[in-house]
């Protein structure tokens, strides 16, 4: 992905509130804000244009990050009916500054966004079928470029729905393997921009530590992973059935150890050096 200059305008000076985002040499523009300030979002001129939008929040039944991806010829009018749904608390939408987005363009963008969000699998999709649209080759290439810019800006807005999950086979990963061991249990992982991935077939202790009575986070997290089928019981240990990304080395180590653990000392490279010692260099 080429380097870019991003221009972020904080309407109220508060990074958590209404903002606009633009990229150098791009005809598009993004607007984002919280549900609490939707009235102000809808009052903006950009909301009256055609474009694509995403609503994000947490699904109350699964407690997973949720996203709705849509398109509209008038973003503001389309957003109003979504007030009947209470799972979302943030909105972001993208329009063109040069008025060149047609209905077919935005339907194509919606379809591609849903397709990539499905592939990434980071969010629970509240709508997984897009209207879609076929475009002439030149228009399709223009929209793929527009999509690339949206892909760059969404993480800046705190939305990682399109970010591909780390792949253990990617070039360079094997050079950065780390290991977490306790007794006869061993797990393998590698660092990512979001934390650390524990790879499939890694092991975790079977029983929770007594310390989880006072610090229950690890017990709760382990139970959730078992419920989701990511951790499965074997004769004397648990095993990861797939790669799983944790937000920190300590979060991963706590699940592997069955209780509170310091990931900076629990994870070591092939030479036996801890994350703490490597980071202190």
Q: For the chain, what are the domain ranges?
A: 6-156, 174-279
For residue 145, list its beta bridge partners. Answer: none
Mean pLDDT, residues 176-182: 93
Q: Which residue has the higher pLDDT, 234 or 2?
A: 234
Res 172: pLDDT: 44
Q: What span, in angstroms and rounded, lies between the C-alpha atoms of 143 and 76?
A: 22
Is the model's pLDDT at 170 over the cut of 70?
no
Query: Is residue 189 very low, low, confident or very high in pLDDT (cuts 50, 70, 90)?
Result: very high
Q: What are phi and psi of 189, to 5 degrees?
A: -155, 175
Q: What is the pLDDT of residues 34-90, one digit of tens each?
A: 999 999 999 999 999 999 999 999 988 888 889 999 999 999 999 999 999 999 999
pLDDT above 60 (res 209) = yes
What backbone phi and psi angles, to 5 degrees, belong to 169?
-90, 0
Q: What is the pLDDT of residue 267?
A: 96
Mean pLDDT over residues 92-111, rounded? 93
> Which position has the token pair 């202190």?
280
Residue 195, both tokens: 């934390």
Q: Beta-carbon neighbour count of residue 137 at 10 Å?
A: 7
- The pLDDT score that the predictor gives to residue 169 is 52
């Amino acid at each position: 992905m080429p380097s870019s200059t991003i221009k972020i305008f904080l309407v109220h000076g508060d990074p958590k509130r209404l903002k606009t985002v633009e990229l150098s040499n791009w005809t598009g523009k993004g607007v984002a804000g919280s549900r609490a300030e939707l009235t102000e979002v809808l009052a903006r001129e950009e909301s009256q244009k055609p474009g694509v939008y995403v609503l994000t929040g947490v699904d109350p039944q699964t407690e997973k990050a949720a996203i709705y991806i849509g398109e509209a010829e008038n973003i503001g009018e389309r957003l109003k009916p979504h007030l009947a749904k209470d799972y979302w608390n943030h909105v972001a939408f993208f329009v063109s500054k040069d008025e060149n987005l047609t209905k077919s363009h935005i339907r194509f963008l919606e379809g591609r966004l849903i397709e990539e969000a499905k592939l990434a699998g980071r969010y629970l999709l509240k709508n997984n079928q897009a209207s879609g649209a076929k475009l002439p080759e030149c228009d399709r290439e223009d929209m793929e470029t527009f999509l690339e810019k949206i892909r760059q800006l969404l993480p800046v807005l705190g939305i990682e729905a399109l970010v591909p999950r780390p792949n253990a086979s990617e070039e360079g990963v094997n050079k950065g393997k780390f290991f977490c061991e306790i007794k006869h249990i061993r797990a393998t992982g590698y660092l990512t921009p979001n934390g650390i991935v524990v790879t499939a077939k890694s092991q975790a202790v079977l029983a929770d530590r007594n310390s989880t009575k006072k610090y229950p986070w690890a017990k709760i997290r382990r139970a959730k992973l078992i419920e989701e089928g990511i951790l499965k019981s074997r004769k004397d240990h648990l095993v990861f059935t797939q790669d799983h990304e944790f937000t920190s080395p300590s979060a991963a180590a706590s699940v592997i150890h069955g209780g509170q653990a310091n990931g900076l000392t629990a994870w070591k490279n092939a030479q036996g050096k801890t994350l703490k010692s490597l980071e202190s260099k």
